[in-house]
Amino acid sequence: MPIELFNDGIHLRLMFANFATEEGKAVQSNQFLIMNGSHAAIIDPGGNLAYNELYMGLTRHCPPHQLGTIVASHADPDIIASLDRWMTACPAKVYISTLWERFVPHFCKPGKTAGRIVGIPDEGMRIPIGKAALMALPAHFLHAEGNFQFWDPVSRILFSGDLGASIGGTPGKIVTSLRDHLPLMEPFHRRYMVSNKILKLWANMVDQLPISMIVPQHGAPLAGEAVREFIDWVKTLQCGVDLMSERNYTLPP
């Protein structure tokens, strides 16, 4: 069953976290359904392993032809490899960084994406969903070169893509204190996030927003004190190119 992140009777935010992972061979990932009245959107629909559960979840709330919007943080397989099936099942437009606009048609049969991909410019944009909108926030290099997070002004949830991800915990259990959760986050962030410079730029940007939860694309949502603790943690985190040296670039034996 999906996890209800927010519901005020008109606006519903659901997290799908439990698709079949082929006995642990595929990384756990979260997909999100946004309902604003009768208008539906999906954030990071995932790969083919995630398709059936998400499709069934969507049809419990509206017919597929009401899915008008798919937003993608970046173009990794766990984000958007199911695109061909979604392009067949519904009339949605796909919002993704202009850097990936001409790459995502490779996930689909010829012609399926014609006129249906909207490039998000580097500076971000507001993406309308019914009478409300998602704000696409620049999160470049966290981790993809063209990368967006989606802040929802209604629920104040920040859908943070790969930033804030945890591997190996319980995705449905909301984390309110970061300390015990850090061992599940740290290795991923050290290797996949690009640099401390970028993390600081991001932290200074999101410090200006009211955020109720940071909900990543892998692992558990962060709420309460954990939101502030996470933003403070990344401000000092050394990662990615910060940690690279000659010893990472030697010829293999």
- Which of 151, 188 has the CB closer to Fe ion? 188
Q: Whole-number minimum distance, CB 1 to Fe ion, in Å? A: 22
| Residue 76 lies near Fe ion (rule: CB under 5 A) | yes
Q: Whole-number minimum distance, CB 163 to Fe ion, in Å? A: 10
Q: Whole-number minimum distance, CB 196 to Fe ion, in Å? A: 19
**Residue 106: CB partners within 8 Å, gap ≥ 6?**
none
d(C-alpha 20, C-alpha 164), whole Å: 22
48-56, long-range: CB < 8 A, 24+ apart: 48/81, 48/82, 48/85, 49/19, 49/20, 49/21, 49/22, 50/16, 50/19, 50/82, 51/82, 51/85, 51/86, 52/19, 53/16, 53/18, 53/19, 54/16, 54/19, 55/85, 55/89
| Residue 229 lies near Fe ion (rule: CB under 5 A) | no
d(C-alpha 100, C-alpha 113), whole Å: 13
- Which of 76, 84 has the CB closer to Fe ion? 76
| Residue 78 lies near Fe ion (rule: CB under 5 A) | yes
Instruction: Enter the DSSP assignment of 121.
Output: P
Q: Whole-number minimum distance, CB 20 to Fe ion, in Å? A: 17
| Residue 162 lies near Fe ion (rule: CB under 5 A) | yes
Q: Whole-number minimum distance, CB 26 to Fe ion, in Å? A: 11
- Which of 27, 205 has the CB closer to Fe ion? 27
Segment contacting Fe ion (CB under 5 A): 4-12, 103-111, 157-165, 166-174? 157-165
Q: Whole-number minimum distance, CB 199 to Fe ion, in Å? A: 16
Q: How far is CA 22 from the centre of its chain?
A: 21
| Residue 53 lies near Fe ion (rule: CB under 5 A) | no
Segment contacting Fe ion (CB under 5 A): 11-19, 96-104, 132-140, 216-224? 216-224
Segment contacting Fe ion (CB under 5 A): 47-55, 119-127, 155-163, 232-240? 155-163
Contacting positions for Fe ion (CB under 5 A)? 76, 78, 162, 217
